[in-house]
Amino acid sequence: MEKPLFRKWSRAMAIFRNIALMLAGLLILLLFVRYYQEGERSFEISDVDIHARIDAKGDMQVIEQDTYRFNGAFNGVSVQLDSSGSDGIGNFQAFEVTPGQEIPLSFEQSGEGTQIQYKVYDKINGETKVFKFTYEWKNVVQVYKDTAELYWKFFDRSNPSTLGTVRIHLELPGGVKQNEMLAFGHGPLAGRVDIVGDGAVEYRVSPLPAKQLLEARVLFPPSYVPDSTKISTTAMLDKIR
């Protein structure tokens, strides 16, 4: 009497095992298809142009223009900004740049602490687009007894992808003379930093690899940021040099 029951149970187990294997195979296939479809989507940032201007308060206003090359469909782009070393980020705006006009784009802000993310919405389908972002970093200049210092990471090691060409044009407050400035750059050895005129410094690197930093360090007389509130009575010029 037990053998027929054993055969029925074995047959049921075999059917269950076959069904389980079929479901597992289907799940693997679905995961593969999903991965493959997501893998088809990609983008690269071929050019980054940043124009940054320091005012008398030590705030930095930024106009950033990025050229994206997309493969596949996207609903927008993300901009990650780090407010470390500042008193916060303000006045963020986003635009799509087309011949003859700049189209304002909607965005959502998220993030905690110093890591702020802006999700910028725009319909994209396998094309090249230029985006313009404007924002402000507040109170970024440290004033010492004998020098003012801008020491700023425009890109840090959290940068997830290689950037084709990065150009940063930095303007100090009006009146700063070329012979009153010192400029340094920290980043790839192939990068360049040049004082290009009174109160103007340019940084350039091509490419900027993923997870590499690009820092600007500029010294100038503290009298040009009279409204700064980030003040120390310590003399630092010789030590920084």
Buried b (16+ CB within 10 A) or exposed e, 12-44: eeeeeeeeeeeeeeeeeeeeeeeeeeeeeeebe
- Nearest CA among 90, 83, 77 for reference residue 48: 77
Q: Report pLDDT digits (tens) over 164-213.
A: 999 999 999 989 999 999 999 998 888 999 999 999 999 999 999 998 99
pTM of the shown model: 0.80
Nearest to 93 by CA among 136, 59, 58: 136
pLDDT of residue 62: 98
**pLDDT > 90 fraction of the chain, expressed in percent and rounded:** 72
Residue 241 pLDDT class (50, 70, 90 cuts): confident
Amino acid found at 5: L
- Report the range of poorest mean pLDDT among 11-20, 78-87, 129-138, 207-216: 11-20
